Amino acid sequence: MDDGMMLVVLGEIIVVLLTLIGVGIAGCVLQLIRVRGLLEEVRADTLETQQAGRLREMVGGTAVQGPVDMFKLFKHIQRSREVEWENPPRETELIEGKADIMGSMKALCEKYYLEAFTISTDDGLVVASSGGDAGDAISDAAKYSYIFTEGEYPDDPTVMLFGIQHKGSNLVGILRTEHNIPERWVQDMEHDAIAILQRWL
């Protein structure tokens, strides 16, 4: 083999080696890109899980629950940012002049700017209601008495729950309001609810 042919062969060998090296480097680069993508996905999933946990805490849930209901979360955040209701309770007679317990319950709603107020037993039976759709009172009593006794928060930001003691029984006050009423009113509502129960039951 002459020197010219030898140089050609060596050139071909060098080209092949460079090609193999190039393919190897390209493969490594592609693999690194894939690994980086996987790491980004893991990181995103971790951040999403952490954010979901924080969001569930905001709506009274736990980190082991299913996906966050963003509509409920939005309502919760929206209401939490509202200015606290500044108007004082109305001067309203709750007992005198009322024909029955429903009349007293309606007066309590008027006093505290409520859409509805239901008192239930801790096992879900309606004791008294401000009226309106009877199905709503029955549904609220069954649903929210259980939530209250379990120590959980209502899934509806327009609903507030508090406990009532009457004649040795544990009752649940279930109120609905669009206003962000002060929590300090709850004790006054409890006293008024007990007064109504003592008058009529």
pLDDT at 174 over 90: yes
The tens digit of pLDDT for each residue in 91-116 reads: 999 999 999 999 999 999 999 999 99
Same domain assignment for residues 24 and 114:
no
Residue with tokens 């120590």, as numbered in its chain: 151
The tens digit of pLDDT for each residue in 3-47 reads: 555 554 555 556 555 555 555 555 544 555 564 665 566 565 555
Burial of 140 (0-12, 13-18, 19+ CB in 10 A): buried
Same domain assignment for residues 17 and 108:
no
Please give the structure tokens belonging to residue 66: 């299913």
Does residue 158 fall inside a structural domain? Answer: yes
Task: Quote the pLDDT of residue 7.
Answer: 54
Count of structural domains, the chain: 2
Does residue 74 fall inside a structural domain? Answer: no
Q: How far apart are CA 190 and CA 150, in angstroms?
A: 20
pLDDT at 80 over 90: no
Domain range for 115: 101-200
Task: Quote the pLDDT of residue 62.
Answer: 47
Same domain assignment for residues 193 and 106:
yes
Same domain assignment for residues 116 and 188:
yes
Same domain assignment for residues 114 and 194:
yes
pLDDT at 158 over 60: yes
Amino acid at 146: Y
Q: What is the pTM of this model?
A: 0.59
**Contact yes or no for 166/198 (Cβ under 8 A):** yes
Same domain assignment for residues 49 and 114:
no
Question: What CATH number has the domain bearing residue 196?
Answer: 3.30.450.30
What average pLDDT does this structure show over 130-158?
A: 87
Same domain assignment for residues 51 and 106:
no
Strand runs labelled E in the chain: 116-121, 126-129, 159-166, 169-176
Same domain assignment for residues 194 and 108:
yes
